[in-house]
Copies of this chain bind each other. A is one copy, B any other.
Amino acid sequence: MKITDVARHAGVSPSTVSYALSGKRPISDDTKRRVEEAIRELGYRPHAGARALASSKSNVLALVVPLRAGIHIPVVMQFAVSVVTTARRYDHDVLLLTQEEGEEGLRRVADTALVDALILMDVQLQDPRLPLLRVLERPSVMIGFPASSEGLTCIDLDFKAAGEVCVEHLAGLGHRAVALVGSPPEVYVRQTAFAQRVVQGFTAAADRHGLASSVHPCEAASGAARKVAEQLLRDQPALTGVVVHNEPLLEPLIDAFEQLGLRVPGDLSVTAICPDELAESIRVPVTSVALPSADIGTRAVELLMRKLDGTEVPEATLLAPRLTERASTAPRNA
Please determine whether A80 and B96 come into contact, CB atoms closer than 8 angstroms. Answer: yes
Please determine whether A281 and B112 come into contact, CB atoms closer than 8 angstroms. Answer: no
Residue A306 at the chain B interface, CB threshold 8 Å: no
Residue A93 at the chain B interface, CB threshold 8 Å: yes
Residue A320 at the chain B interface, CB threshold 8 Å: no
Residue A50 at the chain B interface, CB threshold 8 Å: yes
CB-CB < 8 A to A45: which residues of B?
Answer: 108, 111-112
**5 intermolecular pairs with C-beta atoms under 8 Å apart:** A45-B108, A48-B49, A74-B74, A88-B101, A221-B281
Complex Cα–Cα for A65 and B80 (A): 11
Please determine whether A282 and B223 come into contact, CB atoms closer than 8 angstroms. Answer: yes
Give the oligomeric copy count: 2
Complex Cα–Cα for A63 and B111 (A): 23
A interface bracket (residues with beta carbon within 8 Å of B): 35 or more
Complex Cα–Cα for A48 and B43 (A): 25
CB-CB < 8 A to A76: which residues of B?
Answer: 77
CB-CB < 8 A to A109: which residues of B?
Answer: 93
Residue A60 at the chain B interface, CB threshold 8 Å: yes
Known pairs A47-B113, A67-B81, A95-B96 / 19 extra A-B pairs, C-beta < 8 Å: A43-B111, A45-B112, A48-B52, A48-B58, A48-B114, A49-B51, A49-B58, A50-B53, A73-B73, A73-B74, A81-B98, A85-B98, A93-B97, A96-B96, A221-B281, A222-B251, A222-B281, A222-B282, A223-B282
Interface string of A73-102 (1 = CB under 8 A from B): 110110011001100100001111110110
Residue A46 at the chain B interface, CB threshold 8 Å: yes
CB-CB < 8 A to A80: which residues of B?
Answer: 96
Identify whether the interface residues of A are mostly helix, strand, loop, or mixed.
helix
CB-CB < 8 A to A94: which residues of B?
Answer: 95-96
Residue A33 at the chain B interface, CB threshold 8 Å: no
Residue A283 at the chain B interface, CB threshold 8 Å: yes
Interface string of A29-56 (1 = CB under 8 A from B): 0000000000000010111111111000
CB-CB < 8 A to A58: which residues of B?
Answer: 48-49
Given A81-B67, A95-B60, A46 and B223 contact (CB-CB distance below 8 Å):
no
A246, chain B: closest CB distance, angstroms? 15
Please determine whether B67 and A73 come into contact, CB atoms closer than 8 angstroms. Answer: no
The 9 closest A-B CB pairs, nearest first, are A49-B52, A45-B111, A48-B114, A49-B53, A48-B112, A96-B96, A73-B74, A49-B49, A45-B112
CB-CB < 8 A to A52: which residues of B?
Answer: 48-49, 52
* Nearest B residue to A80, CB-CB: B96
Q: Which of B74, B98, B114 contacts A84 (CB 8 A)?
A: B98
